[in-house]
Each structure stands twice: as structure tokens, then as C-alpha cells.
Structure 1
């Protein structure tokens, strides 16, 4: 099993051979093992350079909020705690994109940082998988519950950094945000509660 177990998490929810829309795919750290398992993956990212590293999946360069495909998927994935973007409007746009692309009876898999985990967030945290290293290069609480952070991604000889704001959300706030986009928090998929399963309410 891989350190974060994303392929195993997905396999526990999505039928074999199913279709997956992966938002924020990056260089394909999760995409590639999903393709190897036989899933039909569409990988979306804003970085053309990162998408150039993705193999075996259809790729789309776009802002997640702007994606409007004429199809729905067995599962939509929103990883990297993107749901905790600081602005409510941005968060709504991300969740709306998930909701309009998930098939009836399908699943939305969301990675988030539970409120208690923000208290242990610190620079230097990270992981290495093969040629890919992801590290929290810097983090600062700039106001109560609002953090500015920078992630560093190293893939072979290539290095990318991304700065972002992260809002501490309670379970209730997450549930409410999902409901506004027509999704329901079904259950937590991992013991550390960092992966959430949401389903369409309609």
C-alpha cells in the first residue's frame, strides 16, 4: 500500500473500471496508480508543465471552477485540501464543479484537514514517493483559523512551489458547504478523517 493509500481509498468506493474525474492532479502521483488499476481517469490541473508528466489519462488544463464537461463520472476527486481555500466563493466554485460532474449514485472524494490537524501543522512536514517529494515549506497563522502556507513539489529535477490560504473548517462548516452545492457528507473514509465521502442529494 502507498503511504497515503489514495488508490486503496478509491478502490473501496469506486467500482472496478469506473470513471474518475481527478481535480488538481499535479504530476500524476495518484493518477498513475489509478490508471494501473484499470480506472478511466480524466486529470485536471492548471499547470501545463505538471500535466505533461501525466501518463495514461486524458488531461485537461483548466481552473477547477471553470470546468464544464458534457459528461458525468462515477467519482470526482478533490485532493490536496483544496476545499479549504480561504474564500467561500472559491470553495463554492470547487464544490459546484464536483457536484455537476458526479453521476447520480456516484461519489465525491474530498481530502481535507480536520480542525484538530491544523494545530499540528508545521513547516517541514511532507512525504516522498519514488521521484516525487511534497513538503510544507512554510506555514503561518495570519488570523484566527486562517493560515498562509507554501507547498514545495519536487519531481526528479523539477521543482514547483504553490502558496495558498487554508481556512480551518469544523465538521459542521464542511457539511454546510457541501449542502450548498447539493452534496451530503456521507462518512469519513479514513481513521484520521482526512478523506471524506460525499454524495449527491438530488
Structure 2
């Protein structure tokens, strides 16, 4: 079956259009002042962007997929995160989708550097990540439902601090699969990565420690 357009890293544009937010706009909204300007790194098709707009935040959405950005109802910038250098600062920079857990250390450093470059002196960088305990407990078949899409993890392989898996999305008779590899970051390694980027840990934004805020050092 025709599964539509895919991004360079294997994300289906169609499935991301189907996925609703899972509370992320509210998490971000609670962590920043009302009306705060937000730079969203890796926005995809606007799953979180549109919720933030509804909450009164001006958002600039960044993604390297023109196909994704075509569905975003906000100001957009087509760029890789690591190459982004806008001549603007923002009250908050959002780095979601567990991007900080990338297996590539150099890419992680570049992601955090881009976030630091664009955050105002009194602003915050808001990061979604897989905490270390997730790597210990995640199992094949784990998942749930978001809107009309069912998500399941499978083919989990652990190799030291790396975890590889395939996430399968399905909706009706349609399905998509996306492999990924991520790296576990113990708290000392996270602190070191933030420090190297000119950031410092601020606080956890959720009780399950899947979101945290960092401040420009």
C-alpha cells in the first residue's frame, strides 16, 4: 500500500498528521510565562505547535522536512536543527521528541548548542527525554493509543547504553513502522552535555521526569 511521504529520518508525514498531542502543549505552557515566544526545534507537522498557538504563544516551527512544514499553521523555518542560527532570541526553546537521546554524541551537542544560541538570557530550554529508568523497564509490545493511532514498540535490542527498537503505528487498515536507536544518559552525563552547551539544569517539569527545563548559564 502507498504509505505517503517520509522524512529523511524515516518519519511518516501522514502518521504524524494523525497523531494528536499527548499533553505536551500544557506541559510547555505551564513552564513558561503567558504569551512567551517559543522556538520549536523538530516541529514535524505541528502536533505540538498548534496547541501552543491555541494557548497564546507565538511559535516559530523548525523542521528539515518541507512536507511536514506544509501542514504547520505558524511561522516556519526549513532547516536541520544543528545548522540553525537565526538572528532572533526566544523566551523558550523546545527540544522535544526525545531528540536529546540521539545515539550520536556530536549531534546531541549540536542540538543543545542550537537551543542555547536561540534562548534569551532570562529564558528556558524545555527538553523531552527518555530518563534512565525508561531504558531499564521498556519492553516489546509496550505502547498505547493516541487519537486514532495505535503505537507499539517491538524488536528491542540493548547494547550497552544504546537501545534499538521499531515503533509500529496503525490506524484502521493502515500501518507504518519506524526503527530508531537512542542512548541512555545517566544524570551526570546529562549535566555534562548541558554544561558543554552553556546550559544548566533547572528543574523537572513533569512528575515522571520525562520533561525538564534548563537555563542559559
TM-score computed with the length of structure 1 as normaliser:
0.87
Match of 2:118 in 1: 101
Relative to its length, the structure with more strand (as a share) is 1
Partner of 2:33: 15
Summarize the Cα distance change of 1:179–1:16 in structure 2 as closer, same or farther, 3 Å threshold: same
1:185 maps to 201
Are 2:103 and 2:182, in contact at CA under 8 Å, matched by a contact in 1?
A: yes
* Alignment-derived partner of residue 160 in structure 2: 144
Number of equivalences: 198
Task: Flag the 1:85–1:178 CA change in 2: closer, same or farther, 3 A.
Answer: same
CA distance in 2, matches of 1:66, 1:115: 28
Indicate how the Cα distance of structure 1 residues 46 and 160 shifts in structure 2: closer, same or farther if over 3 A, else same: farther
Q: Deviations over 1:92-112 (max 9, x none)?
A: 000000000000110000011
Q: Aligned ranges for residues 43-192 of structure 1 at < 5 Å?
A: 43-55=61-73, 57-130=74-147, 135-136=152-153, 138-141=155-158, 143-152=159-168, 161-192=177-208
Q: What are the superposed Cα offsets for residues 83-134 of structure 1, whole Å, 9 maximum, x if unpaired?
A: 0111211110000000000001100000111111112223443444435655
- Equivalents in 2 of 1:123, 1:167: separation in Å? 18
TM-score normalized by the length of structure 2: 0.81
- Unpaired segments of 5 or more residues in structure 2? 1-19
What displacement does 1:80 show? 1.1
Q: How far has the Cα of 1:138 moved from its partner?
A: 4.3
For the aligned residues, what is the CA RMSD?
2.4
SS in 1 for 2:137: coil
